[in-house]
Amino acid sequence: MQKKLPDTIDFFKQVDRNACYECVWPVQSFERLKDVIYDNKGEVKARLKFGTRAGVRCLDGTVEADLELRCERCLDPVKYHIEGGFRFGLISSDEEAGLLPEEFEPLIVTNAELSVIDLVEDELLLSLPIVAKHDEECSEVLQKHSNNGKTQHDTHRPFAALKDLMNS
């Protein structure tokens, strides 16, 4: 197993070698990710395993990071553990995508080398929660609401008199 993951690699050559890479990058290495997180501190771990499965050249991988996102309720930072896994079938044209078994997501490899950082960043972005929020009630309004316990229900029924008219 190789320890260092280069920025760009030839995916088909890595399949022939049955290569496995592991790497850790600082979060600040990911330009698009920096735009959607609260703070760019921390690390991103990635593991990529190239090989052949069911006669298909493939790439199995995982990405993992502890990120600070912005809570949608209070706008303060909230820590999230992000994990993502993927299994790509490496193909060279759109026509080959239809021939892949369902377990593979198609990844078209047309250039000699592809950016590993872009691939890892894509998977991180896909693994982010739709709405980031604290587990506990974080805003003052939500805390007051949860402390009151009961919510008041409107007991006035304006159409209750119609029931009596229907019975007469």
Domains of the chain by residue range: 8-148
pLDDT at 142 (0 to 100): 56
**Model pTM greater than 0.75?**
no
- CA atoms of 90 and 72, how far apart (whole Å): 37
Which residues on neighbouring strands pair with residue 81, listed in sequence order?
66
Residue type, 132: A
Q: For the chain, what is the mean pLDDT?
A: 83
pLDDT in tens, 51-109: 998 888 999 999 999 999 988 888 888 898 999 999 999 988 888 888 888 899 999 88
| Mean pLDDT score, 113-135 | 88
pLDDT at 144 (0 to 100): 58
| Mean pLDDT score, 28-49 | 89
pLDDT confidence band for 156 (50 / 70 / 90): confident
Report the percentage of the chain scoring pLDDT > 70: 86
